Structure 1
Amino acid sequence: MAWYLNRGLATEIDTGTSNKAIKLLFEPLGRTMIDDPYYLKVKQNICVKCGGDKLLNKFYVVPYEFRQYFPFRFKVRSSHDIVLICVDCRECITPAYNMKKKMFYLNAFGPLWKEYEENNQKHKISHEIVKARKSARALLTAKDKMPIEKRDDLERCIRQVCELDSDIELCDNILKDVLTMDSKVENPNYESAAEILVKNLLEGNLDIPRPEECKRSETCNCFLCHGDASKPGDIEHARLKGFVRSWRYHFVSTLNGQENFLPEGWSIQHKIQDYEDARSISRT
């Protein structure tokens, strides 16, 4: 109780007894799900594709590489698009998922996607560390046999990488430590392609392919139009809704008609909740 009272999220109520009670000054997040069949039903620990109960893994209907960059208010307390799937079934649907991800990336980056994918790596090889490791190896094996100028050059290379002063002797222990240095380092210029894609989506710079049955009208029930034409609401919400439903539609298509094991209440049209105040409450 004190936690809520100290943060101004509740007021104390006089119960007339020794029992304390408080009244919350905000709508609890879970209350919006109180009439949602999906969250009220008990979920079975079975694969949503084959119904098996062995080697189950958590599977993100909307790939996590995209979902992690959703605005906080769209993913908090939302487990509708996280299902269970067995290892074998995961292997079956992974190729189709990779193809769809590639399609979205090509849509976002165009013909530059292949070049971006090759050049924009999260980690890169540090040629300075590679050179320092070679220098350390040479000094450990033939330090006494090499010319002084060569030895000084190798030691200078190591000192630069390890940021060692010239008065510190490069003993064997230091050289051995240099040999264990990882030449793979973080790329300071790295920018996640998935983050760029989601940003383009929310800014309206990414088109979402429509299904063949789309009529582009208020009466259309496809995953993009359903409920949006008559109630456009927040533009960002609508764009994200289309993206999420696109992945749900794709996920169901990968089940090859085996939707009988999906949890009760799960559907392509299930609402994407917008917890507008979730961030401020959770971080107060």
Structure 2
Amino acid sequence: MVSSHQVVIGSALLGIAGVGAFLMYRGKTLSIFYRWRSKGILYGHKKENKIITSGKEWEKVAEAFKRECQQLGVVGFDCEWVQVKGHRRPVALLQLASSQGTCLLIRLALIKEELPESLTSFLKDTRVLKLGVGCNDDSIYLERDHSIQVQGCVDLRFIVQEQQKKSDTVKDANKGYDGLGLKSLAQTFLGITLNKDWRVRGSDWEAPVLTARQVSYAAADALCGAHICSKLVEQYLEYPWWMPFLPPSVLAAHIAAGIHQMCEGFRDVPFKKNKDKFLEPKPSVNITNKRCKSTYPADSLRKTPLYHNCQLRAPDNQLLCTCDPKKARWYVRKGLGTLVSEEPLVVKLNFEPVARPQEEGADGHFYIQVRENICVVCGKKDSYIRKNVVPSEYRKHFPGVLKHHVSHDVVLLCTRCHQLSNIRDSEMRFKLAEEFDAPIGTKGVHKVRIDPTIKSVKGAALILMAKRDALPENRVEELENLVRNYCNVDVITDDILKECSCLDPKIPNEDYVPHGFKVYQEYSKIGLIKMETRWRQHFLDSMKPSYMPNWWSVFHNHKKLRYKMSITSPKSPKWEDYHICLFGTEGVCDVEYKPKSDHISHSPETDLRNTDTQAEKLDYNPLLNAYDSSDEDECEESGMEYDDENLEEDCNVCNDIGDIGPDIAFSSRNQDLQESICEA
């Protein structure tokens, strides 16, 4: 019979052994316990598919579904549509799946009424991340087809690549881009094989009733997005020993914070294929006051602000315009202005300007306001890109009087809005192509064509030079015959092969006319300002910007062009430019020529202090102009860098300074200074 004393000793020994084993294997034990606790939060215990065909059906399930998604702040996201002869029809099905297993199949093709506000606001809520593969493209299609804005999209391929960089635990790491499709990711992380049968993928998603295979296919795609994220966050998170013992709500909050931290920097960033190296999202822009001197593509993220809001003031301290700090300091360096303050940078001119902002009305006021470096559509304050409202493929053909020193049509857009704007600009381009018979990218309108004979001979020569010994004899003979027949020789020498390897198969197309130039030619017949106005109105109608600068107008600068034409002699080459801009080559001019002296006496628009002073100022062509970022655009189009030399060259040759704001010129009191600068 065992005594109670022995029982106590045995129990103590067992307890000590258990504690020792736990301490020895505590890492693995806690990991297993943590995964068991988090499994119910990350994956749920149910799987339910609900088909939504009306706003009322959405409202019935909306609250419960949003609660499930808000627990972790994620939702699986995907879209389906029908392809007809290679052309995509509008998005027919929107799939949303919570990590708990609920999947909503919203049949947009069958919903005729306006979508409920609770659904559109849920899709715009950046606190709930929309996860999937290619989800940014899907969001663009939804915006384009149904005016549904989706924000907070994260492409899972970004996260997978980050995990591949940090560890070698991801399977198929060496498969490169081929291993980043949804089917491959589901196999790698979830151990399941998705049904990607083309007969289901390419089926009729607009049918009145979806088949069981369609429902299963669509639900699985969305649900995999949420569950792959759950697997990734398990690898990403580091947890202390006490984490598995927290209450479920606190544990869920910890996991949700980890997911959002893991996805930080990848929200609404398009994924681009790059087989050579991982694609890293572009970081948010750190705004500094230093202007980057090198040029960069127009569609890249800005490294510096577009608007510096430095001030140029008249001798009586009236604000003339805002400009770049480089231009403001140029006035000081040349002795044409005095530095008033560094922060903000203010320069007072030492000479009387040729005009004041009030004289140009709204056009002048546009250039003296403080402008923010934000997206003009959504108001986002970082990761912005410069956008030309009138695309450069048309604008680069404009006469200088219409395009030089005009910053009015340069706005800032965030990456997502810029991408969306480009898509909608494409729609306008195709309209113009059809309207003016100016095809885009079709056969017969290429700048060059490839001669197939020369191409094959060049390829044969390159192969013979590099791999002759490794090729079968019959293949060598075939390639040599190509070279012999082309060169009309019996014996092929190394010099002949070398000469053939340098052949250029490209043949210039003499009949080629670029789309942009063809459209420009057509509008130059009726007035270029009509094309300018059309593109400005298109931007307002297609993007509906909420943060446009004050005094921005579709008719900006048109009144001023008429004034400048009225004081320009019809014998001047610039008069022809004004005529093309305002009336076109086929239009009738209704602007009466008035010499400057007459215009000064009778124009109601020029309300200066006295006629003598104005006449005195107009005796001299403007020499200086306020800087604006469109100067940088013109330099980029011509392949130059914008620097002091270009800036001084502008000052010496430009006679129409006021195109970007108030005219600035020397009065006769500064004639000596003017002559010295001209000599420089």
Same fold (TM over 0.5): yes
Residue of structure 2 equivalent to 1:178: 501
2:440–2:515 Cα contact (<8 Å) kept? no
Structure 1: distance between partners of 2:450 and 2:413: 36
The structural deviation recorded for 1:67 is 0.9
Q: Read off the aligned partner of 1:59 and give its amino acid letter.
A: K
Is 2:436 the counterpart of 1:108? yes
How has the CA–CA distance of structure 1 residues 60 and 119 changed in structure 2, closer, same or farther, with 3 Å as cutoff? same
* CA distance, structure 2, for counterparts of residue 82 and residue 114 of structure 1: 26
Q: Which amino acid aligns with 1:139?
A: L
Mark the CA change 1:125 to 1:149 in structure 2 (over 3 Å): closer, same or farther. Answer: closer
The answer on whether the counterparts of 2:374 and 2:413 sit within 8 Å (CA) in structure 1 is yes
- Taking structure 1 as reference, are residues 58 and 266 closer, same or farther at Cα in structure 2, changes over 3 Å only? same
**C-alpha distance after superposition, 1:10-64 (max 9, x if no partner):** xxxxxxxxxx99xxxxxxxx95684411111232111111111222111111121
Partner of 2:539: 251
* Residues 43-192 of structure 1: pairs in structure 2 closer than 5 A: 43-109=371-437, 117-140=442-465, 141-142=467-468, 145=473, 151=480, 154=483, 157=486, 169-170=493-494, 174=498, 178=501, 186-192=508-514
1:5-24 to structure 2, matched below 5 A, reads none
- Judged with a 3 Å threshold, the aligned counterparts in structure 2 of structure 1 residues 51 and 189 are, in CA distance, closer, same or farther, namely same
Residue by residue, what CA displacement relative to the aligned partner does 1:200-253 show, whole Å, maximum 9, x if unpaired? 11113xxxxxxxxxxxxxxxxxxxxxxxxxxxxxxxxxx222221111111111
Give secondary structure in 1 for the equivalent of 2:377: coil
Give how far 1:171 is off. Answer: 5.5
Q: What amino acid is aligned across from residue 281 of structure 1 in structure 2? A: V
> How far apart in 2 are the matches of 1:108 and 1:152?
48
Which structure has more RCO (C-alpha within 8 Å, separation ≥ 6)?
Answer: 1
Does 2:566 correspond to 1:194? no
Moved more, 70-79 or 143-152: 143-152
Q: Distance in 2 between matches of 1:246 and 1:32?
A: 29
Matched AA of 1:243: M
CA distance in 2, matches of 1:31, 1:186: 49
Worse-superposed segment, 183-192 or 92-101: 183-192
2:367 paired residue number: 39
Taking structure 2 as the reference length, the TM-score comes to: 0.27
| Bigger Cα Rg | 2
Residue 184 to residue 43, structure 1, CA distance change in 2 (3 Å): farther
State the SS of the aligned residue for 2:436: helix
1:170 maps to a residue whose letter is D
Distance in 2, matches of 1:148 and 1:94, equals 51
**3-state SS of the aligned residue for 1:118?**
coil
Cα offset for 1:116? 8.1
CA distance in structure 2 between the partners assigned to 1:193 and 1:33 by the alignment: 40
- CA shift, 1:178, in A, is 2.3
Q: Which amino acid aligns with 1:58?
A: R
Tell me if structure 1 keeps the 8 A contact 2:390–2:536.
yes
Written as runs of structure 1 = structure 2, the 5 A alignment for 1:183-262 is 186-204=508-526, 239-256=527-544, 258-259=545-546, 261-262=547-548
Structure-2 separation of matches of 1:241 and 1:133: 49
**Partner residue of 1:16?**
none
Is the partner of 1:119 in helix, strand or coil? Answer: coil
* CA displacement at 1:101 relative to structure 2: 1.6
Measured in 1, the distance between the counterparts of 2:522 and 2:356 equals: 30
Cα distance in 2 for partners of 1:96, 1:59 equals: 13
Distance in structure 2 (CA, Å) of the matches to 1:125 and 1:148? 25
Aligned sequence identity (%): 20
**Could you say which residue in structure 2 is the equivalent of 1:266?**
552
Secondary structure class of the residue paired with 1:203:
helix
> Is the alpha carbon distance of 1:197 and 1:31 closer, same or farther for their aligned partners in structure 2, counting shifts above 3 Å?
farther
- Residues 45, 53 of structure 1: 8 Å contact kept: yes
2:388/2:410 contact within 8 Å kept = yes
Per the normalisation by structure 1, the TM-score is 0.59
C-alpha change, 1:123 and 1:170, in structure 2 (3 Å) is: same
Aligned to 2:653: 281
Q: What is the letter of the counterpart of residue 244 of structure 1?
A: E
Q: Cα 1:150–1:182, aligned 2, differ >3 Å: closer, same or farther?
A: closer
CA distance in 2, matches of 1:94, 1:249: 15
| Distance in 2 (alpha carbons) for counterparts of 1:33 and 1:154 | 72
Q: Work out the number of aligned pairs and report it.
A: 211
When residues 184 and 48 of structure 1 are mapped into structure 2, their CA distance, relative to the original with a 3 A threshold, is: farther
Q: Runs of at least 4 residues of structure 1 off by over 6 A?
A: 146-150, 165-168, 277-280
CA 1:132 to 1:150, structure 2 compared with 1: closer, same or farther past 3 Å? closer
> Displacement, 1:189?
3.4
Are the equivalent residues in 2 in contact too, given 1:135–1:155 (CA < 8 A)? no
Q: Secondary structure at the residue paired with 2:449?
A: strand
Describe the shift of the 1:72–1:32 C-alpha distance in structure 2 as closer, same or farther (beyond 3 A): farther
8 A contact 1:33–1:39 mirrored in 2: no
DSSP-derived class of the 1:58 partner = strand
Alpha-carbon offset, residue 118 of structure 1: 2.6
Q: Report the secondary structure of 2:387's partner residue.
A: strand
Residue ranges of structure 2 left out of the alignment (5+ in a row) = 1-334, 337-352, 359-363, 565-573, 578-649, 656-677
Instruction: State the distance in 2 between where 1:149 and 1:90 align.
Output: 52
One-letter identity of the residue aligned with 1:251? F
Q: Give the structure 1 partner of residue 631 of structure 2.
A: none
